[in-house]
Amino acid sequence: MIVHPKPNLLNVLVSLKGSIAKRIARRSVMVTALASLIVLVENLHPAFFAKVNATPFTLLGISLSIFMSFRNNACYDRWWEGRKAWGEMIIEVRSFIRESVVIADRQTRDGLLLALCGYAHALNARLRGEDELHAAQPWVAESSNLPLYNISDGILQSIGKRCSQLAEQQQISEWRYVNLEQRLRGLSQAQAVCERIKTTPLPFPYTLLLHRTIYIFCILLPFAMAEPLGWLAPIFTLIVSYTFFGLDAISDELEDPFGRDENDLPTDAMVRTLERELLGATGRKDLPPPLLPVDFVLS
């Protein structure tokens, strides 16, 4: 995620970090070059462009803008819902820390808290398509017993099983066990939200239609602008293509908010926050430092 101070006019004009310009540069340059070629042909053979009317492009541009706005809102909703789910995880983990103080056995409590730390690392790896088991191993004592199809949920199951044993052994009251189980249920719900976002992309025909329409519009636009604007047509084509291609690329990034693109959620930083709080609850003093933005990017 880009963490950038409020930009001034110079930063708005020249800043590339967090900008989508790098991803769409090739497409925009190709469309601009095509527009220049069309203007050249129009100067050599003006009769070919005499009857081209800009009205259809105006109507198509308005419709395309509304369609893109709808898709951008849908993708941003996915990004924001993912952020809310991680916020719920932080709340549930902090609540578990508070409610687990009734566990008298220090070693047992520390083991549960470290397992929650392993859960956060495993879920982050799962959402990013990385090795869950490798991420959880430093924190979970019996990682070999975890189900390989869902390491993070397996950690929650093992924590729940241990809390149930504590209740059966009357080391914690039934009421305390219910509270701890509610915290684990909240973590499971937040994980399910993240998995739903990760495994359910926007309908492909919906995205494909928008991609095709953008390309058709940007390629045909110079034919309408060549005759009235002359050599200004490539400049306006560049501006329009930058806007449409850019909005399209931003939507693609926000559709999956758990990757490692510059505008994705900073789940590494949120996992580090949980790691510091869980280790602090065990009495550790040598806490890892919080993650800070590197070149304005918080991962």
| pLDDT reported for residue 12 | 55
User: Taking the mean position of all CA atoms in its chain, how far away is CA 72?
Assistant: 13
| pLDDT reported for residue 19 | 67
SS3 call for 80: helix
- In the chain, pLDDT over 90 holds for what percent of residues? 37
Answer whether residue 29 is part of any domain: no
Considering its fold, how many domains does the chain have in total?
1
User: Model pTM?
Assistant: 0.86
* DSSP secondary structure letter of residue 7: P
| pLDDT reported for residue 99 | 93
Q: Quick: pLDDT tens for 54-91.
A: 677 777 778 788 888 888 899 999 999 999 999 999 99
Q: What is the DSSP string of 145-171?
A: GS-TT-HHHHHHHHHHHHHHHHHHTTS
pLDDT at 13 > cutoff 60: no
Q: What CA dihedral angle connects 7, 245, 223 and 212, to 10 degrees? A: -160
Q: Tokens at residue 18, please?
A: 């967090």
For residues 77 and 83, what is the distance between their CA atoms, to the nearest angstrom?
10
**How many C-beta neighbours within 10 Å does residue 85 have?**
20
Burial of 127 per CB tally in 10 Å (0-12, 13-18, 19+): buried
Answer whether residue 126 is part of any domain: yes
Contact 4, 296 (CB under 8 A): yes
| pLDDT reported for residue 51 | 65
| pLDDT reported for residue 122 | 94
| Mean pLDDT of the chain, nearest integer | 86
Answer whether residue 293 is part of any domain: no
pLDDT at 292 > cutoff 60: yes
Answer whether residue 22 is part of any domain: no
| pLDDT reported for residue 10 | 58
Q: Quick: pLDDT tens for 82-134.
A: 999 999 999 999 999 999 999 888 999 999 999 999 999 999 999 999 989 88
| pLDDT reported for residue 230 | 82
Which residue is it, tokens 């709808």?
70
Contact 225, 237 (CB under 8 A): yes
Banded pLDDT at 7 (limits 50, 70, 90): low
For residues 134 and 121, what is the distance between their CA atoms, to the nearest angstrom?
9
Answer whether residue 226 is part of any domain: no
pLDDT at 18 > cutoff 80: no
| pLDDT reported for residue 23 | 81
Closest CA to 265 of 275, 255, 277, 276: 255
For residues 164 and 179, what is the distance between their CA atoms, to the nearest angstrom?
12
Contact 182, 96 (CB under 8 A): no
Q: Tokens at residue 154, please?
A: 């397996």
| pLDDT reported for residue 261 | 83
| pLDDT reported for residue 258 | 92
CA distances from 188 to 17, 181, 185, 256 (A): 35, 10, 5, 20
Q: Quick: pLDDT tens for 203-259.
A: 888 888 888 888 888 888 888 887 777 888 889 888 888 888 888 888 888 889 998
| pLDDT reported for residue 5 | 65
SS3 call for 294: strand
Answer whether residue 223 is part of any domain: no
In the chain, count H helices and then E strands. 10, 0
pLDDT at 1 > cutoff 90: no
Return the minimum-mean-pLDDT range out of 76-90, 136-150, 282-296: 136-150
Answer whether residue 167 is part of any domain: yes
Closest CA to 185 of 276, 84, 95: 95
Domain, as residue range, for 176: 82-201+266-284
Q: Tokens at residue 98, please?
A: 């508070």
Banded pLDDT at 42 (limits 50, 70, 90): confident
Contact 179, 149 (CB under 8 A): no
What number is the average pLDDT over the span 32-52?
Answer: 79
| pLDDT reported for residue 144 | 63
What number is the average pLDDT over the span 181-200?
Answer: 95
Answer whether residue 133 is part of any domain: yes
| pLDDT reported for residue 6 | 65
| pLDDT reported for residue 43 | 81
